Structure 1
Amino acid sequence: MPAHFAARLRTRTLTLNTRLCLGLDPREDAYHSRAELRTHTLAVLDACAEVVACVKPQLAFYEALGLWGMELLEEVCDAARALDLPIILDAKRGDIGSTAAAYARAWLSGQHAGAALTVNPWLGFETLEPFIEAAQQGGGAVFVLVKTSNPGQADLQGGGHSERVAAKLTARASRLPLEHGLSSIGAVVGATHPHELAQWRSQLPHAPLLLPGLGAQGAKAEDLAGAFFPDGSGAVVSASRGIQYASGNDVQAAVSAAQSFRDGLNAGLERR
């Protein structure tokens, strides 16, 4: 059985003292050629590896590049595994029946075994089961959308709906084994809701949390301490554009941005 994803993430967080997740979203219009895109994306991954707890490729940017982009995604995942970086594949998949099972096979088994995947619960809670089962079998994890970082999330996630999702996830996690108090069922909660993070941490006591929205979406690293357990584990905060394109395609600028985000997250923890 592969190592439990949440346990790997916790160990790396505490060993390297970083709660930062590196988002890698290669934008073709930022480069003169695909060769430059590939070189820069892999260089940012390699240069930032010791500053971050995990890496999160957003599948949409690789899918937009066609077959070549999917080959690049495989390169990114292979490089991350060689660096012992936990991988969260950000796909927000969700479907019914055999289609959900096929998505789970595609992204949580085979060469992706042990990786985590973001999933969408809004088609019904039974649609999560194929993903949860595949994650359990492969030592991986799912990160279920609970309250996303975009302003329009309140259209469907307000009115207590996000709280209901959180309650369902907590109940489902209670039937799974834990490692260091962490389940293989994680949750996505936007870093753009800093005043709610302690509430979500309480409602999702065993869930590793993924907090998107740092940097370009306006979330501040220093404001996010409420998402973490007392030992500083239990959550990672992702930044993509704010690292990969911190100053054009300057790799050293990406490293400096990642260090700044990491230090800001740590400073927020020290002040709480």
Structure 2
Amino acid sequence: MPEPAGLPVGRSPFGERLAGAMAARGPLCVGVDPHPSLLAAWGLTDDAEGLRRFSAAVLEGVADVAAALKPQVALYERHGSAGIAALEELLAASADAGLLTIADAKRGDIGSTMAAYAEAWLGEGSPLAADAVTLSPYLGFESLRPALDTAAETGRGVFVLALTSNPEGASVQHVGGEASVARRIVDAAAAENRRYAGAERGHGSVGLVVGATVGDAIGRLGLDLAAMGGPILAPGLGAQGATPAVLKETFGAAYTRVLGTSSRDILAGGPGPQGVRARAERTLEGLRG
């Protein structure tokens, strides 16, 4: 199966790049979540300058340890244009450091609005373009088409919300039993990955967000994550209660495609890059064990 024609020079598809980073460094994604309380704990001001200093320290700490960095977009947006500028700086600095980025924006809309989101987060030349972006499919998976196509054209990726661990998520995602909403999202992602080369090796560029603390829901809903063909972003490692052992039990045969994501537990190692790095290395050791 071919890759889309016209990928930017020197850029392989996101799924291939992420698989390479996970093989070289390990399956760890570090969330960059500049909560006001965390900025205060680090002795930083809750403003754009505080965001810049926080982001730079996290990047310095994990640039050669993590496979990817995941900034929480909302925590930059709360500072308006100055906060967005700080996010743009982090994305650019991460690219310079050779670290993949996943913009945790959870965008989802229809038509021209979705196309605009796709251009912002995945379009070539956009200052907000990350290597991948999180998407919400609850206006219908096909409503994400502009982002799916833009990602394929630019060699970037997406992570589609499939099975989240917040209690409210079950009221939507679990509906339908064996024909659940979650299963339809998983099947749609698998079909999208089959359009391009690499999915048969698990290197597709359409990934899923599946909470690290979903327990036995994967089995109960009959989700075949191992056959989905793309990566799995699993937030909830550390402070939210999931351990590497929990991830291995929860994901089973799909564990080799899981990108374990930790934010608060690793960021609590600050202020400064050394403590963040130490916690990231400890988490990574557990994921590899």
Q: Bigger CA drift: 167-176 or 95-104?
A: 167-176
CA distance, structure 1, for counterparts of residue 130 and residue 272 of structure 2? 31
Q: Bigger CA drift: 56-65 or 191-200?
A: 191-200
Q: Bigger CA drift: 7-16 or 199-208?
A: 199-208
C-alpha distance 253-43 of structure 1, shift in aligned 2 (>3 A): same
Deviation sequence 1:65-120 (CA, Å, 0-9, x none): 11111110011101110111111111110001110001000100123556101001
* TM-score (norm. length: structure 2): 0.84
Equivalent position SS for 2:63 = helix
Q: Is structure 2 residue 66 aligned with structure 1 residue 44?
A: no
Equivalent position SS for 2:91 = helix
C-alpha distance 55-229 of structure 1, shift in aligned 2 (>3 A): farther
Matching residue's letter, 1:263: E
Cα pair 1:3 1:114 within 8 Å, conserved: no
Cα pair 2:189 2:228 within 8 Å, conserved: no
Deviation sequence 1:187-234 (CA, Å, 0-9, x none): 11111125456864546430211101111211112221264768x742
* TM-score (norm. length: structure 1): 0.89
Q: Is structure 2 residue 205 aligned with structure 1 residue 189?
A: no
1:10 is matched with which residue: 8, 19, 27?
19
CA distance, structure 2, for counterparts of residue 36 and residue 43 of structure 1? 11
- Identity percentage of aligned residues: 38
Equivalent position SS for 2:93 = helix
What are the residue-to-residue correspondences of 1:113-128 with 2, within 5 Å?
Answer: 113=129, 115-128=131-144
CA distance, structure 1, for counterparts of residue 235 and residue 263 of structure 2? 9
Q: Is structure 2 residue 125 aligned with structure 1 residue 105?
A: no
Q: Bigger CA drift: 200-209 or 210-219?
A: 200-209
Cα pair 1:142 1:184 within 8 Å, conserved: yes
What are the residue-to-residue correspondences of 1:43-192 with 2, within 5 Å?
Answer: 43-109=57-123, 110-111=125-126, 112-113=128-129, 115-159=131-175, 160-178=180-198, 180-192=201-213
Name stretches of at least 5 consecutive residues in structure 2 with no aligned partner: 1-6
Equivalent position SS for 1:183 = coil
CA distance, structure 2, for counterparts of residue 114 and residue 126 of structure 1? 22
CA distance, structure 2, for counterparts of residue 59 and residue 204 of structure 1? 30
Cα pair 1:19 1:265 within 8 Å, conserved: yes
Match of 1:270 in 2: none
What are the residue-to-residue correspondences of 1:18-33 with 2, within 5 Å?
Answer: 18-29=26-37, 30-31=39-40, 32-33=44-45
CA distance, structure 1, for counterparts of residue 168 and residue 244 of structure 2? 22
Matching residue's letter, 1:83: A
Cα pair 1:13 1:19 within 8 Å, conserved: yes
Name stretches of at least 5 consecutive residues in structure 1 with no aligned partner: 268-272
Cα pair 1:166 1:203 within 8 Å, conserved: no
Equivalent position SS for 1:265 = helix
Figure out how many residues of one structure are paired with residues of the other and give that number. Answer: 264
Equivalent position SS for 2:233 = strand
Equivalent position SS for 1:87 = strand
Q: Is structure 2 residue 275 aligned with structure 1 residue 253?
A: yes
Ranges of 4+ aligned residues in structure 1 off by more than 6 Å:
none
